Amino acid sequence: MDGPNLVRRTAAAVLAAALCGWLSMLAPADERVRLAAARSEAAAPAPKPEPPKPKPKPPPPDCTRAKCLALTFDDGPTESTAGLLDILASRDVKATFFLVGENVAENPGLVRREHQAGHEIADHSYTHADLGRASKKKIVSELTRTQDAIRNASGVTPDLLRPPYGSTSKRLARIAREMGLAQVLWTVDPLDWRHRDTEDIERRVLKDVKPGQIILLHDIHPTTVRAVPKIIDRLSAEGYVFVTVSELFGGKLTPGEEYTELDSGEGQGLP
């Protein structure tokens, strides 16, 4: 008894579906477009909320009055740089990194991390070459290749140069000026590349430092990285503030000129 009824119900459903399709074809074109758009909007995923905007960076201190120091690290980035970045982040300290181009090419992720953390990135030649004794062709090659490597890794083009070994010349000064690079040397050198002793590095830095100075360290040595927490903690307790090289000089460094420390007069280091 149910057979005929089932056949009739099935036939009615097929007829209804066909009729709906036929009627939709008879609808005006703009109505069909509207219906299609409505179906598309319903299927589209909801837009993702925008990420929160970073907090504005506080202005740097006035280093003509504050007890400012610039921590600088040469020759990286290497494996030990990652641990150093963790240490600096835990203490909210910004530093300046003078990078060797070969290491930039091998570790672009660390360069990006340095930049994203707010550190200053600078040029230290491509092969750690003695630029003070080099020819014009060699100097231009070393600096240009490093600038390109850093820009490719981080999107930043440095405007600071530290010549390896502190070796400079009139030729280098002229080329640096043409390339828009100020030459940054240092005041405090604990010879951490020679003395691979963490306590000795700490002692040498803490003994010699004064306001407005630039501290030279090498993040390629784990013994140096291990010395950084005590250096920061002890000097912070004495009222020192850590800034980048550009911040130390108020953001005003002249291309080609040499910078070793900020000496602004008797008021420096006062609260």
Q: Where are the alpha helices (DSSP H) in 163-211?
A: 170-179, 198-208
Query: Is 221 marked active-site?
Result: no
Sequence-separated (6 or more) residues with CB below 8 Å from residue 259:
182, 183, 184, 185, 214, 245, 249, 253
Give the three-state DSSP class for 96.
strand
Query: Is 128 marked active-site?
Result: no
Distance CA 234, CA 220 (A): 23
Q: Which of 74, 75, 123, 192 is catalytic?
A: 74
Bridge partner list, 190:
none
Strands, E, within the chain: which ranges?
68-74, 96-99, 120-123, 160-161, 182-184, 213-218, 241-243, 258-259
Do the beta carbons of residue 78 and residue 219 sit within 8 Å?
yes
Q: Which of 75, 119, 124, 218 is catalytic?
A: 218
Give me the active site residues, please: 74, 218
